[in-house]
Amino acid sequence: MGNGAWRATTQQQAYANPKSMIDIFNYKTPRVYRIYRMWAFNNQYATYGGALGYLNIYRTVSANGGWTVAPIANDTSNFPLNVDLTCGTNRVVTLGSLFRRVGFSPDEPAAYVIDWDAMLTIVAYAEIWNAGYSDSVVDPLTCRANVIEGYTIYSTIMTTGVGDFEIEFTDKAT
Amino acid sequence: MANTWRVNAEGVTLANGKDLLDVFNNSAARVYRVYRMFAINSIATAGIGVVGYVNVYRIITSVSDGTDLTTSIITHDTANSALSANFSAGTNRTVTLSSLFRRVPVSPDEALLLTVDWDSISTVVAWCEIWMAGYGSAGIIEPLTCRASTAEGYCIYSTISTNLGLDCEIEFTDSAS
């Protein structure tokens, strides 16, 4: 298909208030990156004292520190990503526009129970962003070529719980 | 792809007969197409929930008063050209309702840990999408459309009386034709 699809994913990230759980950032590469989907999974088995809060989707204008998340190609024949396109977790980000906030229950799901915690382990329900998906007319969230910008899933949840996070994006020349 | 934009408002307090979020084309020469609308129950603090309706309406003639959110409209792509000055978005504006496209019962109440109920289900984004006409059917099903040089728009309109709020979003495109 030649879409150059990639995925940044990180597991068992501890929540904090505030914290960039995962982000993608284009530091002026000549490529265009389009974010199609984001997920937040309530994947945890240990007992935690859950606390309700928000996950927020922001555009970012800087990203530093933290830990690197190495994106994975959906197709191993994809060309490597430009070195100035980076993904990370727990990075210090400068927030731009807020696109959405999502109420979230970061608490462990339990066997024999269907509750909010369990519901957020279901892939379809953990999808917190899919603008532009399956519709060629609607622009996905976009990192423009030669522009410093990115996107983050940003926690304002104070809890000892953890979660798994994904950002799915494409790498294109235009 | 078309230039895509989004306006969102967080914690908009509900009321009976209130424009929660609207977009309005005051006869700009551009065409605006509304692809999706969301009403998300992002309430984390205790309140007294009341079940009621949010409604998707076409609005006509003019909008006035309330809070103008035009400067809060966010582009999906920072390379997009600026919106026409005759296009606006707002909340709690005085709107003239025209056709009712849909009404959706919602439960604006705080979701609780260890519970699955209407309140918590209404935090799941996939279930908060109250409008997506035309989505995934480019070229076949028309989205809700604000025609060029016509005074019309669309709004998420509350007929619920409660002091709780919802997060609302409208996703739209800006095209020459």
Instruction: Name residues whose C-beta falls within 8 Å of residue B65's C-beta, 6 or more positions apart in sequence.
Output: B92, B93, B94
Q: Which domain holds residue B67?
A: 3-175
Q: How confident is the model at residue A105 (pLDDT cuts 50, 70, 90)?
A: confident
Predicted local confidence at residue A108, as pLDDT: 84
pLDDT at residue A66, as a whole number: 97
Query: What sign results for the dihedral spanned by CA atoms B42, B47, B49, B55?
Result: negative
Average pLDDT over chain A, rounded to an integer: 91
How many CB pairs lie under 8 A apart between chains A and B?
Answer: 131
Question: d(Cα B127, Cα A80) in Å, to the nearest integer?
Answer: 36
Q: How far apart are CA B24 and CA B86, in angstroms?
A: 8
Q: Does residue A89 contact residue A23 with C-beta atoms inside 8 Å?
A: yes
Q: What is the C-alpha to C-alpha distance for residues B139 and B118, in angstroms, rounded to an integer?
A: 35
Strands B3-13 and A72-73: unpaired
Q: Do the beta carbons of residue B23 and residue B153 sit within 8 Å?
A: yes
**What tens digit of pLDDT does each residue of B124-169 get?**
888 899 998 777 777 778 899 999 999 999 999 999 888 888 999 9
pLDDT of residue A49: 78
List B residues 90-149 in contact with A (Cβ-Cβ < 8 A). Answer: 110-116, 120-121, 123-127, 134-138
Q: Which of A114, A119, A129 sits opposite B124 (nearest CB)?
A: A119
Strand-pair category, A85-89 with A148-155: unpaired
Report the pLDDT value the prediction gives residue A48, as an integer from 0 to 100.
78
Whether A90 has a pLDDT exceeding 60, the answer reads yes
CA A64 to chain centre: 16
Portion of chain A with pLDDT greater than 70, in percent: 98
DSSP state of B158: E
The pLDDT, as a whole number, for residue A3 is 64
A134 at B interface, C-beta within 8 A: yes
Of A74-78, A131-135, B162-166, B168-172, which range is least confident? A131-135
Helical (H) or strand (E) element with A118: helix A116-119
Tracing tokens 């289900």 back to the chain, one arrives at B121
Among A18-22, B27-31, B115-119, name the one with the lowest average pLDDT: B115-119
How crowded is the C-beta side of A134, counted as CA atoms within 13 Å? 8
A134 has a pLDDT exceeding 80: no
Residue A56's pLDDT is 97
Higher pLDDT pick, A6 / B137: A6
Contacts B121 to A, Cβ<8 Å: 119
Provide mean pLDDT across the span B7-33: 96
Q: How confident is the model at residue A88 (pLDDT cuts 50, 70, 90)?
A: very high
Measured distance CA(A162)–CA(A167) in Å, rounded: 17
Query: Confidence band (pLDDT; 50, 70, 90) for B113?
Result: confident
Write out chain A residues lying below 8 Å of B124, CB-based. Answer: 119-120, 125
DSSP string, A47-82: ------EEEEEEEEEEEESSEE---EESSTTSPPPP
Residue A50's pLDDT band (cuts 50, 70, 90): confident
Any idea which of A117-131, A141-155, B58-72, B104-118 has the lowest mean pLDDT? Answer: B104-118
User: Positive or negative CA dihedral for A91, A96, A99, A101?
Assistant: positive
Q: Tell me: pLDDT of A1 over 60.
A: no
Q: Which of A115, A117, A138 sits opposite B35 (nearest CB)?
A: A138
Report helix, strand or coil for B87: strand
Please give the pLDDT value at position A2: 55
Domain total in chain B: 1
Which candidate, A97, A91, A85, places its Cα nearest to that of A25?
Answer: A85
- Complex ipTM value: 0.82
pLDDT at residue B31 tops 90 = yes
Closest by Cβ to B10, choosing from A101, A132, A144: A101
- Using CA atoms, how far apart are residues B88 and B7, in angstroms rounded to an integer? 10
C-alpha span between A104 and A67 (Å, rounded): 24
Residue (of B31, B37, B74, B72) closest to B55 by Cα position:
B37
pLDDT of residue B117: 84
**Tens digit of each residue's pLDDT (9 = 90 or more) over B63-101:** 999 999 999 999 999 999 999 999 999 999 999 999 999
Look up residue B56 and give its two tokens. Answer: 């998707």
Query: At B70, phi and psi to the nearest 5?
Result: -55, -40
| d(CA B168, nearest CA chain A) in Å | 9
